[in-house]
Structure 1
Amino acid sequence: MMRAPLGTDDTPDLQDVLNALDDEGCRRIIEALDEPMTAKELSEKCDIPLSTTYRKLELLTDAALLEERAVLQPDGHHTTEYDLVFEEVIIQLDGNRNLDAGITRPSASTDERLETLWAEVSKET
């Protein structure tokens, strides 16, 4: 199942964000992701076993810090790549004295906005 990050107006679950950022392996993955990478590439680059890498990627995706993308290969198969989808994580205290997490996202390119729009139209048809 491909999971996309929460939209820019959605608030991620505070505990999911804290759990991901508290995990050393997750932080290593975040630091290593300077471009989209597969789980295998991240496993090798971060020196984390592949099975553990998948668990870390799930934590990061659940926290809306990463997105998964299917990439079609020339041989017709597909692979999954992971990429960061945040610029800043903010932990804040709201007016009711509740802790909350906010994520600043990079601006979407024209191509990304068109892709999102097309995906929404495709769901409707």
Structure 2
Amino acid sequence: MRAPFESDAAPDLQDVLDALEDEGCRAIIEALDEPLTAKEISEKSGVPMSTTYRKLDLLTDAALLEERAVLQQDGHHTTEYEVAFEEVVIQLDEDRTLDVGIQRPPASKDERLETLWAEVSKET
């Protein structure tokens, strides 16, 4: 499982550009108004299921989507994806090289607690 929120480091510029240039990736981002499974994303975005997982990999590698396991009532788990940014900015830094900045949505109380618990667990 990938967790783009674990680090404040910006993702690779080329990964972000590749994902945003891809029509299927953009369709997936537009379809994700709530957390969805890959199957739901495929149906809602019109991206074929055979292509959806590759597009999801591109988007998570670029830290534009968050992927998380969700426990179901029957004891199994499924993976859901959600948009992990509010704004993407491509800018020229002081060395005149392109840089990417991603503004993340504010963390919910549950996410802050989960992050705090993960940090405490690492310390013990």
| Pairwise CA distance, 1:123 | 3.4
State the TM-score, normalized to the length of structure 1.
0.93
CA RMSD of superposed structures (Å): 1.3
Alignment of 1:49-64 (within 5 A): 49-64=48-63
Deviation by residue 1:9-64 (Cα, 9 ceiling, x = unmatched): 31110000000000000000000000000000001111222121000000000000
| Contiguous gaps of at least 5 residues in structure 2 | none
Counterpart for residue 68 of structure 1: 67
| Contiguous gaps of at least 5 residues in structure 1 | none
Provide the rounded CA distance (Å) in 2 between the counterparts of 1:119 and 1:89: 27
Opposite residue 33 of structure 2, the aligned amino acid is D
State the TM-score, normalized to the length of structure 2.
0.94
Q: Does 2:112 correspond to 1:113?
A: yes
Opposite residue 9 of structure 1, the aligned amino acid is D
Counterpart for residue 45 of structure 1: 44
Provide the rounded CA distance (Å) in 1 between the counterparts of 2:123 and 2:43: 40
- Contact 1:72-1:78 at 8 Å conserved across structures: yes
Aligned residue pairs total 124
- The sequence identity of aligned pairs, in percent, is 78
SS in 1 for 2:40: helix
SS in 1 for 2:70: strand
